[in-house]
């Protein structure tokens, strides 16, 4: 069954900012919100959201502030707390706790939001290649790549070649899929569809500065606090080849969240859904079925 996406905008109270979103499937209380990683857009979830909607869930994919089709804050306010604010605003807008599927930045935002309250913001949580403990080398590599091309690319083909070199994976038959994450400027250059100011204040991650700046220890502790406050079903989906999330990091999270489940996706790196979408989606669908029937391990 084909399910079409319906565009929507979320107005964020107090932020004078609107987030772009797509709704998939029937409007029910069985809601799944998908939050993408840094430098991505909601389009990264299209296949998974359609599959989730096809089994009766109401899926919502959202572009983070400064990403995709969402608005960019005038003052480049990309503090971690602002992303947590946005998650809370989305949940309040929905009026019912959703299942939250968050990759990287999306998962971090959800944990930071939950760290603020003992009230359960979510019906269940799926963290996609993100845990409170992240490996420094992987963080540096990702942020370094994000910062490496501030002037964009000559063409989609050039961008495809550079991305393939970064991921170590074959180039797709056509680069047209990159139109989801690259915009064609009036000067003919193709640039990322996210605000490069997002990287301001994170330069130490690239150049290897002070370890406290690299790890952002205070944020890490708050991520751990968010994990400890999760009292609902939880699942970590890790790319088996990820250099950002280690098996030790996953075990640490599972120890903090009793009953949390863990799936390792073979032949996938940090971009799990992009690398192995069918396997990723199958893991999410299985978990959602358990959430719906109340059979998740606790």
User: What is the average pLDDT across 250-266?
Assistant: 94
User: What is the average pLDDT across 131-160?
Assistant: 90
DSSP string, 214-281: HHTHHHHHHHHHHHHT--S-EEEEEETT-SSS-HHHHHHHHHHSTT-EEEEETT--S-HHHHSHHHHH
Q: Which of 250, 223, 218 is nearest to 236 (CA)?
A: 250
User: What residues contact 238, with CB distance under 8 A and at least 6 apart?
Assistant: 129, 245, 247, 250, 262, 263, 264, 265, 272
Average predicted confidence (pLDDT) for the chain: 90
Q: Reduced to 3 states, what is the DSSP secondary structure of residue 173?
A: coil
**In this structure, CATH architecture of domain 5-135+219-293:** 3-Layer(aba) Sandwich (3.40)
pLDDT for position 218: 76
- Token code pair at residue 115: 């760290």
Of the pLDDT bands very low, low, confident and very high (cuts 50, 70, 90), residue 206 is very low
User: What is the average pLDDT across 13-23?
Assistant: 86
The more confident residue out of 89 and 209 is 89
pLDDT for position 132: 94
> Is 212 a residue whose pLDDT tops 60?
no
pLDDT for position 59: 97
Of the pLDDT bands very low, low, confident and very high (cuts 50, 70, 90), residue 220 is confident
User: What is the average pLDDT across 257-268?
Assistant: 95
Evaluate whether 32 touches 52 at the Cβ level (below 8 Å): yes
- Token code pair at residue 80: 């971690």
- Token code pair at residue 156: 């989609």
Dump pLDDT digits (tens) for 229-239.
Answer: 999 999 999 99
Question: In angstroms, rounded to a whole number, what is the distance separating the alpha carbons of residues 5 and 281?
Answer: 17
> Is 215 a residue whose pLDDT tops 50?
no
User: What is the average pLDDT across 87-115?
Assistant: 96
Question: In angstroms, rounded to a whole number, what is the distance separating the alpha carbons of residues 246 and 49?
Answer: 27
> Is 205 a residue whose pLDDT tops 90?
no
Domain ranges for the chain: 5-135+219-293, 139-199
Evaluate whether 244 touches 138 at the Cβ level (below 8 Å): yes
> Is 282 a residue whose pLDDT tops 70?
yes
Q: Which stretches within 55-181 are classed as H helix?
A: 80-94, 105-114, 136-147, 156-167
pLDDT for position 216: 62
> Is 58 a residue whose pLDDT tops 50?
yes
pLDDT for position 211: 44
The CA-CA-CA angle for residues 230, 270, 115, to 5°, reads: 20
User: What is the average pLDDT across 289-297?
Assistant: 86
């Amino acid at each position: 069954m084909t399910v079409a996406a319906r565009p929507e905008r979320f107005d964020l109270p107090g932020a004078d900012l609107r987030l772009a979103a797509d709704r998939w499937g029937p409007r029910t209380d069985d809601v799944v919100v998908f939050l993408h990683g840094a430098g991505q857009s909601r389009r990264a979830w299209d296949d998974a959201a359609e599959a989730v909607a096809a089994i009766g869930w109401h899926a919502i994919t959202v572009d983070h502030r400064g990403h995709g089709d969402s608005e960019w804050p005038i003052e480049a306010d990309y503090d971690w707390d602002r992303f947590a604010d946005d998650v809370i605003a989305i949940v309040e807008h929905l009026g019912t706790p959703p299942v939250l599927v968050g990759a990287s930045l999306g998962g971090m935002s959800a944990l930071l939001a939950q760290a603020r309250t003992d009230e359960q913001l979510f019906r269940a949580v799926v963290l996609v290649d993100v845990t409170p403990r992240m490996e420094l080398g992987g963080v540096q590599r990702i942020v370094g790549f994000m910062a490496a091309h501030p002037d964009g690319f000559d063409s989609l083909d050039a961008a495809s070649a550079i991305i393939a070199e970064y991921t170590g994976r074959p180039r797709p038959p056509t680069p047209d899929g990159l139109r989801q994450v690259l915009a064609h400027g009036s000067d003919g250059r193709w640039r990322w569809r996210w605000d490069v100011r997002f990287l301001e204040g994170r330069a130490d991650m690239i150049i290897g500065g002070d370890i406290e700046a690299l790890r952002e220890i205070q944020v890490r502790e708050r991520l751990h606090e968010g994990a400890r406050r999760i009292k609902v079903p939880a699942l970590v989906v890790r790319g088996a080849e990820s250099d950002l999330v280690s098996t030790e990091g996953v075990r640490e999270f599972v120890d903090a969240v009793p009953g949390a489940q863990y799936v390792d996706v073979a032949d996938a790196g940090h971009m799990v859904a992009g690398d192995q979408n069918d396997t990723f989606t199958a893991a999410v669908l299985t978990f959602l079925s358990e959430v719906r029937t109340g059979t998740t391990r606790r």
